Amino acid sequence: MNMNIIVCIKQVIAGDRVKIDPLTQSLVRSAEFSHINPFDLFALDLAVQLKRETSSTLTAVTMGPPISEEVLWEALAIGADRAILLSDPRFATSDTLATSYVLGMGIRKIGKFDLVLCGMRTTDSDTAQVGPQLAEELDIPHVTGVERMEKKEGVFWIERTSDGFREVLQVPAPALLVISPRTEVRFPSLVDIQDAFTQSTIEYWNLEDLNADPMKVGRDGSATWVEALLPLTQQKSCVFLEGEPRQQAKLLFLKLIERNLFS
């Protein structure tokens, strides 16, 4: 039951270190304040588990600037066999649609695969769009919110919870699965990290390597873009309501109605 598994990961910025370029309205990335997207760790952990159970091959892929290689080294330390960085200045400012296109072109270049795994969302943009969009780009079936899966007779058996119901789905290979967060994941040891740096390499693919259309990446290939980012300001005030409890309740309802918070 050997499979070729691909897991898509992303480097994100620590929430308290986010900075925005005022000209491009995009995130300013730096290796010192970045880390692997926590939700991708669940997909990576499941991929490593499947690799060990089925003697499969695991490839980790990410799109980003050169500093994104840090998350690929971590993926190699956790258990990936191969790591590929899709990096080109022309990929910058890609929205989820353009990102899915680049990832799709990278996966096509990798060749035959049985399974693509993605995290449920990212902590920086939090759209949860790339997984389903990538499946559409590759023209393969996909399932989101996956909690358990196994392969039987060439078909993936998927379990997930949806609208309070437990669902069991059968999906043919190749397929893309968006993995739901679990209770815990495995982190690499110091020996694993050392082995990754001494025994592995990272492949770098740019626009030409992917034979990608330059009009489908970056700003030109994005269906959405950021016009401006404005900080949210919160104004708080405390009002004491006088009178007996019934009077206070009546005054409270009147104030809620004034602010269109109750009808």
Domain ranges of the chain: 4-216
Higher pLDDT, 176 or 230: 176
- The model's pLDDT over 158-216, given as tens digits with 9 standing for 90+, comes to 999 888 889 999 999 899 999 998 767 888 888 988 989 999 999 999 999 999 999 99
* Residue 25 predicted with pLDDT over 60: no
Six token digits for residue 106: 């990278």
What whole-number distance in Å separates Cα of residue 125 and Cα of residue 39? 12
Six token digits for residue 159: 């379990």
- What's the chain's length in residues? 263
What whole-number distance in Å separates Cα of residue 11 and Cα of residue 202? 15
pLDDT of residue 14: 63
Pick from 17-21, 140-144, 180-184: least confident: 17-21
Q: Are 226 and 127 in contact (CB under 8 A)?
A: no
Pick from 54-63, 175-184, 230-239: least confident: 230-239
What whole-number distance in Å separates Cα of residue 215 and Cα of residue 206? 14
Phi and psi for 220 in degrees, rounded to 5? -65, -35
Phi and psi for 31 in degrees, rounded to 5? -65, -35
Among 57, 53, 109, 46, smallest CA distance to 82 is for: 57
What whole-number distance in Å separates Cα of residue 219 and Cα of residue 98? 8
pLDDT more than 70, % of the chain? 89
Six token digits for residue 219: 């700003």
Is 206 in a helix, a strand, or coil?
coil
Q: Are 125 and 135 in contact (CB under 8 A)?
A: no
Report the DSSP beta bridge partners of residue 146.
179
- DSSP notation for 70-113: HHHHHHHHHT-SEEEEE--GGGTT--HHHHHHHHHHHHHHH---
Domain spanning 4-216: CATH 1.20.144.10: no
Taking the CA of residue 237 as centre, how many other CA atoms within 13 Å lie in the half-sphere pointing to its CB? 4
Euclidean distance between the first and final Cα of the chain, in Å? Answer: 60
* Residue 82 predicted with pLDDT over 70: yes
Q: Are 129 and 96 in contact (CB under 8 A)?
A: yes
